[in-house]
Copies of this chain bind each other. A is one copy, B any other.
Amino acid sequence: MSDKRVSRQKPCHHCKSRSASTPADTSTIHYEKFWLYRHCSSVQQRDRQAQKAGQLFSGLLAMNVVFLGSAFISSMIFNHVAITLADVWILLSILKVLCLCWIIYYLLGTSRQPHAVLYRDSHAGPIWIRGSVLLFGSFSILLNVFQIGYSAILIQCKSGVEIVFPTIEILFICTQAFFLWHHSKDCIQVQHNFTRCGLMLTIATNLLLWLLAVTNDTIHMEIESQLREVEQRFAGNETASCTCPNTTICKIFQKGYILLYPFNTEFCLVCCSVLYVMWKNVGRRISHHHVPHSKPKFKLQGVVFGPLLGAAAVIIGICVFMMYQIQATGSAPDRQVFVMYYSYYIALLPLMSVGAVIGTIIHALEKRELDTLKNPTRSLDVILLMGAALGQIGMSYFSIVALVATDPRDLLNSLILSYSVLLIFQNITQNVFIIDGLHRQPSGAAAEARHPEHAGQHAVPSEPPREEDTMTSSQRRHTEVSPGKEEEMKEEQNHEAYNQRRVSMLELGQEIRKASLSYIHSYSHLSWKRRALREISFFLVLCNIILWVMPTFGAHPVFENGLEKSFYGYSTWFAIVNFGLPLGVFYRMHSVGGLLEVYITA
């Protein structure tokens, strides 16, 4: 689908066909230059140093913007009088307009220059990440539409700027989503430093939007919990000057705003990660052999237990979530509902951990080659997985210390304690499983890996050999057999290849039939390992989805059970949750992506 879209664009079509057919001419490569490194001995070295310097300077730009914005947002939180939310919005709008200008310039100027996009990184912007950009982007637009509607109804007590800001936001989201959908794979070869600065500015803006959303989100939680207390005290005594009139439309806007809020934070984080990969890819030259010849596709066949178990976990999880939401949002949350919630987790988490451990063991048993080529997308995935897990793990350790210090023999306390321990264990085992899986060669690509003359890192880019399609596919099928028989199969294959040059078409057909029979035989021999991997990763995908849904839509028992809150004090525990919870949500979403990749390549 992405290729179809891309080929509609004129300049990209041009370079795609170039990169597919002939190696790029050295005259079309724009080597980077930087004043500091004029005297390097070779062009390549100067290029690499200029790249590093460009990354350093654009990174410094982003750092300064992020620090300035963070200071603004913190000032707003801790000193409402001197710096208001409107000031922060003005700063962010200026940044958004700057980003918009750069994105439009990139779309119309930079990317249409001759030889601008000679290479495309096939690993960058996979379909599931671009899909989530579109999905979260459309939800965020809806959120802003609701906000505009809500402000329009209450126009008598709200200022006009509260309609202007969401409009700029909608423009920004649309343009950015369009830009990321079409250009996330680009390895731009012109205007390196300007593009790097533009990308870094956009990343900084997204990070600040995320920071504002997170602090606002939790402040909103705080206000809600305080309001509840106030309501209990002054029941029926309304004094607020700017409340929603009792019309349905206003209530819908208000509810929709609260419900859609989490998608906005996720949108910012996903955009940041895609933009970061683009930034790493600026000026990158990919040898043509890095492009995988056949990309494995998502197929839902041969898996039974994973989807069944996963679906059961999802259904039970939704029931638990509904009961939790009904009970916990009431005036006084019941102890029972927490016991139910934590019991669900304690039943699910060991299953997930065991699945991940078995998956890791199968990875070790399977004799598949490792993919050790340079791949910025994968490096980022690994870093994001480890980094996002830190939020959850940190929160769990704080819980453990608080619970051990108070009274671990109480039922609810012991439940929370085991929940925290299991959560740490689950996060670590799942990370090891995903990281290990991402570094395996997809079973389709294993064929190429075993023929060093077909793939690898040749110094001089050369044409991939064009053979008969039937020949290539029969070879590829052969190499999918169990590597234990590899040697013997290879000899047989060489013999076949030798024969094939002489035999007639009839004999060729017979050979192919023989080869496919042996393929089916070996597939049924191999399949248990591959099937087990697929079952496990599918099960984990579904589990991670339900574990993502629950905190995203407002189940925050770590805050509502009140145990840690009373131990650490309100504001400290608030700060810890504030840091850990959004990272935990992002972790679940990101694991789903990683596990899908493991599922596809299994």
Give A82 to B568 CA distance when docked, in angstroms.
10
Tell whether, in the assembled complex, residue A567 and residue B82 are in contact, meaning their CB atoms are under 8 Å apart.
yes
- Closest-CB distance, A357 to chain B (whole angstroms): 12
Tell whether, in the assembled complex, residue A79 and residue B370 are in contact, meaning their CB atoms are under 8 Å apart.
no
Query: Which of B39, B398, B400, B483 is close to A483, meaning CB atoms less than 8 Å apart?
Result: B39
Given known A71-B398, A75-B401, A82-B405, contact A49–B370 (CB-CB < 8 A)? yes
Give A363 to B368 CA distance when docked, in angstroms.
49
Within 8 A of B (CB), among A377-412: 390, 393-394, 397-398, 400-402, 405-406
Within 8 A of B (CB), among A434-462: 435-436, 439
Task: Specify which chain B residues have a CB less than 8 angstroms from the CB of A401 in the assembled complex.
Answer: 68, 71-72, 75, 83
Give A279 to B48 CA distance when docked, in angstroms.
27
Give A489 to B348 CA distance when docked, in angstroms.
75
For the complex, is A499 an interface residue (Cβ under 8 Å from B)? no
Tell whether, in the assembled complex, residue A79 and residue B568 are in contact, meaning their CB atoms are under 8 Å apart.
yes
For the complex, is A326 an interface residue (Cβ under 8 Å from B)? no
Point out which of A67, A368, A390, A402 has the most chain B C-beta atoms below 10 A from its C-beta: A67
Q: Pick the interface stretch among A14-22, A30-38, A317-325, A593-601.
A: A30-38
For the complex, is A424 an interface residue (Cβ under 8 Å from B)? yes
Query: Which of B56, B364, B405, B424 is close to A64, meaning CB atoms less than 8 Å apart?
Result: B424
Give A569 to B60 CA distance when docked, in angstroms.
29
Give A390 to B41 CA distance when docked, in angstroms.
34
Tell whether, in the assembled complex, residue B372 and residue A78 are in contact, meaning their CB atoms are under 8 Å apart.
no
- Closest-CB distance, A370 to chain B (whole angstroms): 6
Task: Specify which chain B residues have a CB less than 8 angstroms from the CB of A67 in the assembled complex.
Answer: 393-394, 397
Task: Specify which chain B residues have a CB less than 8 angstroms from the CB of A367 in the assembled complex.
Answer: 39
Tell whether, in the assembled complex, residue A567 and residue B79 are in contact, meaning their CB atoms are under 8 Å apart.
yes
- Closest-CB distance, A575 to chain B (whole angstroms): 9
- Closest-CB distance, A438 to chain B (whole angstroms): 12
For the complex, is A572 an interface residue (Cβ under 8 Å from B)? yes
Give A389 to B64 CA distance when docked, in angstroms.
12
Give A599 to B443 CA distance when docked, in angstroms.
54
Give A369 to B568 CA distance when docked, in angstroms.
56
For the complex, is A152 an interface residue (Cβ under 8 Å from B)? no
- Closest-CB distance, A439 to chain B (whole angstroms): 8
Tell whether, in the assembled complex, residue B78 and residue A568 are in contact, meaning their CB atoms are under 8 Å apart.
yes
Tell whether, in the assembled complex, residue B63 and residue A572 are in contact, meaning their CB atoms are under 8 Å apart.
no
Q: Closest residue to A449 on the B side, CB-wise?
A: B41
Task: Specify which chain B residues have a CB less than 8 angstroms from the CB of A435 in the assembled complex.
Answer: 56
Task: Specify which chain B residues have a CB less than 8 angstroms from the CB of A366 in the assembled complex.
Answer: 39
Given known A56-B432, A64-B424, contact A568–B363 (CB-CB < 8 A)? no
Tell whether, in the assembled complex, residue B70 and residue A372 are in contact, meaning their CB atoms are under 8 Å apart.
no
Given known A79-B405, A370-B37, A400-B71, contact A63–B568 (CB-CB < 8 A)? no
Point out which of A68, A370, A483 has the most chain B C-beta atoms below 10 A from its C-beta: A370
Give A71 to B395 CA distance when docked, in angstroms.
9
Given known A64-B424, A79-B568, A82-B406, contact A74–B398 (CB-CB < 8 A)? yes
Task: Specify which chain B residues have a CB less than 8 angstroms from the CB of A171 in the assembled complex.
Answer: none
For the complex, is A537 an interface residue (Cβ under 8 Å from B)? no
Tell whether, in the assembled complex, residue B74 and residue A368 are in contact, meaning their CB atoms are under 8 Å apart.
no
Given known A41-B369, A70-B397, contact A79–B569 (CB-CB < 8 A)? yes
Task: Specify which chain B residues have a CB less than 8 angstroms from the CB of A40 in the assembled complex.
Answer: 369-370
Query: Which of B75, B483, B569, B572 is close to A568, meaning CB atoms less than 8 Å apart?
Result: B75
23 inter-chain pairs at a CB distance below 8 angstroms, sorted by A residue, are: A35-B364, A37-B364, A39-B364, A39-B366, A39-B367, A39-B368, A45-B370, A49-B372, A63-B390, A63-B393, A67-B393, A68-B397, A70-B394, A70-B397, A71-B394, A71-B398, A74-B568, A75-B398, A75-B567, A79-B405, A79-B567, A79-B568, A571-B571
